[in-house]
């Protein structure tokens, strides 16, 4: 699966299925929900013993236009 296809499967596709209006795509007038990541280094560090560990490789998270991580 290509990177664009994988991203669509976790963004636009579920937003459309759940009828989340103005979410899931980068378009004018939509909520600014953006995650900036390095596809070479992104990985989960969570385990059953430590499920709250943040992932590696994520540089910024912007939700509704506000920085959440960065």
Residue 21, domain extent: 1-29
Q: What is the DSSP annotation of 30-59?
A: S---EEEE-TTT-B----SS-TTPPPBSEE
**Do 40 and 62 share a structural domain?**
yes
CA dihedral (66, 26, 2, 10) in degrees, to 10, reads 60
Structure tokens at 39: 């596809």
Give the total number of structural domains in the chain: 2
Residue 37: how many CB atoms within 10 A of its CB?
A: 15
User: How much is the pLDDT for 69?
Assistant: 72
Q: What tens digit of pLDDT does each residue of 52-64 get?
A: 999 999 999 999 9
Q: Per-residue pLDDT averaged across 24-38, rounded?
A: 93
pLDDT at res. 70:
59
The pTM for the full model equals 0.75
Q: Are residues 43 and 18 in the same domain?
A: no
In the chain, the percentage of residues whose pLDDT exceeds 90 is: 90
For residues 8 and 22, membership in a common domain is answered with yes
- pLDDT surpassing 90 at residue 10: yes
Residue 39's pLDDT band, with cuts at 50, 70 and 90, is very high
């Amino acid at each position: 699966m290509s990177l664009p296809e994988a991203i669509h499967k976790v963004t636009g596709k579920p937003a459309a299925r759940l009828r989340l209006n103005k979410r899931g795509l980068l378009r004018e007038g939509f909520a600014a929900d953006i995650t900036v990541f390095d596809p070479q280094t992104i990985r989960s560090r969570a385990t059953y013993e430590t499920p709250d560990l943040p992932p590696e490789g994520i540089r910024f998270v912007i939700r509704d236009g506000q920085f959440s991580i960065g």
